[in-house]
Amino acid sequence: MPKGNVLVGQSGGPTAVINSSLAGVFRTAMERGYGKVYGMRYGIQGFMDEQYVDLSTHIKNELDLELLKRTPSAFLGTCRYKLPEIHEGKEIYERIFELLDKLDIEVFIYIGGNDSMDTIRKLYDYSLLTGAKQKFVGCPKTIDNDLAITDHTPGFGSAAKYIATSTKEVICDALGFSYKKKNVTIIEIMGRNAGWLTGASALSAGEDCDGPDLIYLPELPFDVEAFTNRVRGLLEDKDVVVVAVSEGIHDANGKYICEMTAGSETKDAFGHIQMTGTAAYLASVIHNELGCKTRSVELSTLQRAAAHLTSRVDVDEAFAVGGATVKAADEGDSGVMVVIERLSDDPYQSTTGIHDVHRIANGEKVVPREWINAGGDYVTKDFLDYMRPLVQGQYNPMTVNGLPRHLNLKMNNSEWIK
Amino acid sequence: MPKGNVLVGQSGGPTAVINSSLAGVFRTAMERGYGKVYGMRYGIQGFMDEQYVDLSTHIKNELDLELLKRTPSAFLGTCRYKLPEIHEGKEIYERIFELLDKLDIEVFIYIGGNDSMDTIRKLYDYSLLTGAKQKFVGCPKTIDNDLAITDHTPGFGSAAKYIATSTKEVICDALGFSYKKKNVTIIEIMGRNAGWLTGASALSAGEDCDGPDLIYLPELPFDVEAFTNRVRGLLEDKDVVVVAVSEGIHDANGKYICEMTAGSETKDAFGHIQMTGTAAYLASVIHNELGCKTRSVELSTLQRAAAHLTSRVDVDEAFAVGGATVKAADEGDSGVMVVIERLSDDPYQSTTGIHDVHRIANGEKVVPREWINAGGDYVTKDFLDYMRPLVQGQYNPMTVNGLPRHLNLKMNNSEWIK
């Protein structure tokens, strides 16, 4: 009996390698003899409105596949949509499964983080209740590295590499200006609850760079006064201080540091309270308290979109986990997420496995306390040993006219050609 | 008679290729048989305190030279120091020339922008008055591309490439999230008075990307209300709007947009007025007026420090102008700056020339009105034709442990070794 079709979607915040996983799904589905590979536009949200594409009309050859692996953001578009519990929204499930049958979908793959795995879990549970034929498999993705069970998540290594490289460059820049004046730079890095990415800034340290002086993760409470005193102390011995902070640092009561400015009457032109960045706030505190020149650098969406600076290990693993989702379904698994298992640190070796999605969905893996130093202002050698293999190797962009070339949905379709 | 020594300094804001010029100075000075090449620590300011290094103790071989070309920020350290007029500070000039004689300096090279060329001009004028033997030659450098006479400045092409690449990635990211909700992203780019870098964001447009929707340069007055209406109009037809703005945009009265928040009572925790970024301010205006999701991205120092993403044309030209400064002095020229002359657009060809520094110092080259569209919200094809050759080619970092390796002053000296 010929195989049916595969449906794949992307969900949540993008990464620089989320499309490498999509490429892996497509490639393995073709190799294993599935019919078509449909891509949901804007995840399950768009799919429910019958927004989907036939990927073979967009990925026509190996070059397209390679371009896709180098394209940032979600190629298919993404969404942040939470399915209701089954008993609260049965009609939504009926609608989705009706569409799956209509398109003869045999395998449903969702590339995403915690919330996306929650979607896989619910659809799988529904399929058990109704005896639906489809297999549901999750493909891990998040720059935040906060998924449970898997050693790490695709997307994390490339974001970490971008952050470490940018931190190194920012430190270099700050050092150039240090003659007879002190300066403090504060770099703000993504991660509301998990400090993996902020800790990655420490990878900048080596023979040619001292790395940041202080690193603050959201796993521990942050005290503005203690921080100010710490910087004051450092400035007695050196002229340039660089600090990396998570956007999610908060005080002992759980109040985000970025809310502190707002709390003290920072309003915009219209009288609305404005969220000022964590780094900008701390830079103003240091400037006002210590009088030195300060600068804040927010890495912003650049850190999840910088496809021009990815880790080869990450791109390859993202591709591999994409393929492994199809393989898992083809071998009869459902209600699982593919995980990365580390076989060896040095030389670094990894493989893929599968794991019950119920144990992953909605969990959150934060940096263990023992990987943060006693003072709570740096990461330990164990943290760095864990990280370092994940940022190795380049995956250079293909450039046209001096800029990286990406693949997009407009390029190969008739709308574009006419 | 054996040749004397060369003294070279770096001044003003750094670029990703300022050290490539330093490498060019060193290489040509060695080739032309000069004695030593001394580097001023922190420009003329550090030099007056007798802060300098013998570059041959830091650049020991061709590999070091290649690392230097890939190192961001000012390898020697930089300063922002304006020499007094000769009649106002004769003792300063006497001090400098005393040190030049002490070190047997024959050639004085200063790598910098407008202010640095002012330093060359004054030292040269003083040498004419006193009959001092030294030659004074300026080496152009600035990401802002605002130096007169030269076709463009080293440092500009690499910053432009970084900006265009990052803009492309940010646009890609914004498009991924556009289902059933509109979003506006505002990217803030360096350039107080000249919009060259902001205009470079338009290079992101091509077969695979539409580029920013609007681009605002500081050469023209900016009207917040007209801007808001323009965005409102665009949002009627599309879901994602991306705008690139210069940090230096200002209203018709010359008031900077980034001052507007401050003017409307944005104060920090200490009651001090806080400079909020231009992009952050405009994002809050759009959010409040139009109600859609907004995001601001400030490229910050990353755009001048991103040695991991340079233009090969730029690196090579920076190296060439460095060498050309020594050649000019060796051939008897003084009081000049090396300029880049464009010989051909396609294929792109350039050469170096020299020009009287009096005609360059303190001048400022802005984007000509005819290279901005009639509506004042985009650059023209002529602008892009001028720009495009300058971002071509890669100059890939040498990586160690997955991160770019830089050269620094600590690495090869005894202090580091002990």
What would the pLDDT profile of A331-376 be if each residue is shown by its tens digit? 999 999 999 999 999 899 999 999 999 988 777 899 999 999 999 9
pLDDT at A417 over 90: no
> Which residues are CB-neighbours of B117 under 8 A, at least 6 positions away?
B110, B138, B140, B147, B337, B357, B360, B361, B362
Residue B410 confidence (pLDDT) = 80
Residue A363 confidence (pLDDT) = 78
Of all residues in chain B, the one with the smallest CA distance to A185 is B301
- List CB contacts (< 8 A) between A269 and chain B: 260-261, 264, 281, 284-285, 288
pLDDT at B167 over 60: yes
**Cα gap A371→A193, rounded to integer Å:** 15
Minimum-distance CB partner of B169 among A169, A177, A307 = A307
pLDDT at A68 over 50: yes
How close B227 gets to chain A, by Cα (Å)? 16
- List CB contacts (< 8 A) between B77 and chain A: 175-179
Structure tokens at B196: 């060259």
Contact between A324 and A111 under an 8 Å Cβ cutoff? The reply is no
Q: What's chain A's Rg over C-alpha atoms?
A: 23
Residue A272 confidence (pLDDT) = 41
The pLDDT of A280-303, averaged and rounded, is 94
- Work out the burial of residue B104: count CB atoms within 10 Å of its CB; fewer than 13 is exposed, 13-18 middle, 19 or more buried: middle
Q: How many CB pairs under 8 A join A and B?
A: 248
- Note whether A169 contacts B71, CB cutoff 8 Å: no
Q: Closest by alpha carbon to B305, among B12, B7, B73?
A: B73
Among A299-313, B161-175, B251-265, B359-373, the minimum mean pLDDT is found in B251-265
Contact between A81 and A30 under an 8 Å Cβ cutoff? The reply is no
Q: Dihedral sign for Cα B255, B257, B261, B267, please.
A: negative
How close A130 gets to chain B, by Cα (Å)? 30
How close B329 gets to chain A, by Cα (Å)? 27
The pLDDT of A136-142, averaged and rounded, is 97
The pLDDT of B401-406, averaged and rounded, is 96
- Note whether B170 contacts A45, CB cutoff 8 Å: no
The pLDDT of B164-188, averaged and rounded, is 95
A144 is catalytic: yes
Residue B412 confidence (pLDDT) = 52
Residue A202 confidence (pLDDT) = 98
- Note whether B403 contacts A14, CB cutoff 8 Å: no
Of all residues in chain A, the one with the smallest CA distance to B260 is A269
**Cα gap A309→A263, rounded to integer Å:** 38
Q: What's chain B's Rg over C-alpha atoms?
A: 23
Q: Which amino acid is at B69?
A: K
The pLDDT of B229-239, averaged and rounded, is 97
pLDDT at B265 over 90: no
Measured torsion, CA atoms of residues B211, B216, B219, B222, in degrees rounded to the nearest 10: 170
Residue B178 confidence (pLDDT) = 86
Enumerate the active-site residues of B.
144
The pLDDT of A381-404, averaged and rounded, is 96
- List CB contacts (< 8 A) between A177 and chain B: 77-79
- Note whether A208 contacts B169, CB cutoff 8 Å: no
Minimum-distance CB partner of B204 among A71, A173, A403 = A403
- Note whether A308 contacts B309, CB cutoff 8 Å: yes
A22, A45, A64, A172, best to mutate vs chain B, most B CBs in 10 Å = A172
- The rounded mean pLDDT for chain B is 93
How close A296 gets to chain B, by Cα (Å)? 8
- List CB contacts (< 8 A) between B297 and chain A: 300-302
ipTM: 0.95
φ, ψ of residue B366 to 5 degrees: the values are: -100, 175
Please give the share of chain B, as a percent, with pLDDT higher than 70: 94
- List CB contacts (< 8 A) between A393 and chain B: 402
Residue A18 confidence (pLDDT) = 98
**Cα gap B288→B285, rounded to integer Å:** 5
Please give the share of chain A, as a percent, with pLDDT higher than 70: 94
Task: Give the number of residues written for chain A.
Answer: 418
- The rounded mean pLDDT for chain A is 93
pLDDT at A147 over 70: yes
The pLDDT of A5-21, averaged and rounded, is 97
Q: Largest Cα–Cα distance in chain B?
A: 78
Residue A264 confidence (pLDDT) = 40
How close B129 gets to chain A, by Cα (Å)? 31
Long-range contacts of the stretch B387-390 (C-beta < 8 A, 24+): B387/B160, B387/B199, B387/B200, B387/B203, B388/A401, B388/A402, B388/B203, B389/B313, B389/B345, B389/B346, B389/B348, B390/B152, B390/B156, B390/B157, B390/B160, B390/B311, B390/B313, B390/B314
- List CB contacts (< 8 A) between A45 and chain B: 179-180
**Cα gap B177→B240, rounded to integer Å:** 9
pLDDT band at residue B363 using 50, 70 and 90 as cut-offs:
confident
Measured torsion, CA atoms of residues B28, B34, B35, B38, in degrees rounded to the nearest 10: -50
> Which residues are CB-neighbours of B383 under 8 A, at least 6 positions away?
B199, B202, B367, B371, B372
Cα A209 to the chain's mean position, in Å?
A: 26
- List CB contacts (< 8 A) between B73 and chain A: 169, 172-176
Q: Dihedral sign for Cα B371, B373, B379, B380, please.
A: negative
- Note whether B72 contacts A172, CB cutoff 8 Å: yes
Which domains occur in chain A, in start order?
5-155+309-363+393-411 (3.40.50.450), 156-305 (3.40.50.460)
How close B170 gets to chain A, by Cα (Å)? 7
**Cα gap A74→A304, rounded to integer Å:** 11
Q: Which of A115, A118, A144, A377 is catalytic?
A: A144
Report the DSSP beta bridge partners of residue A342. Answer: A350
Q: Which amino acid is at A144?
A: D
Q: Closest by alpha carbon to B319, among B7, B9, B111, B12?
A: B111
pLDDT band at residue B274 using 50, 70 and 90 as cut-offs:
very low
The pLDDT of A143-171, averaged and rounded, is 97
- Note whether B276 contacts A276, CB cutoff 8 Å: yes
Residue A416 confidence (pLDDT) = 35
Q: What distances in angstroms separate CA A161 from CA A12, A142, A366, one per listed residue?
A: 21, 14, 19
Residue A260 confidence (pLDDT) = 80
Q: What is the pTM of this model?
A: 0.95
- Note whether A402 contacts B393, CB cutoff 8 Å: yes
Residue B145 confidence (pLDDT) = 97
pLDDT digits (tens, 9 = 90+) for A207-250: 999 999 999 999 999 999 999 999 999 999 999 999 999 999 99
Residue B411 confidence (pLDDT) = 63
- List CB contacts (< 8 A) between A405 and chain B: 208
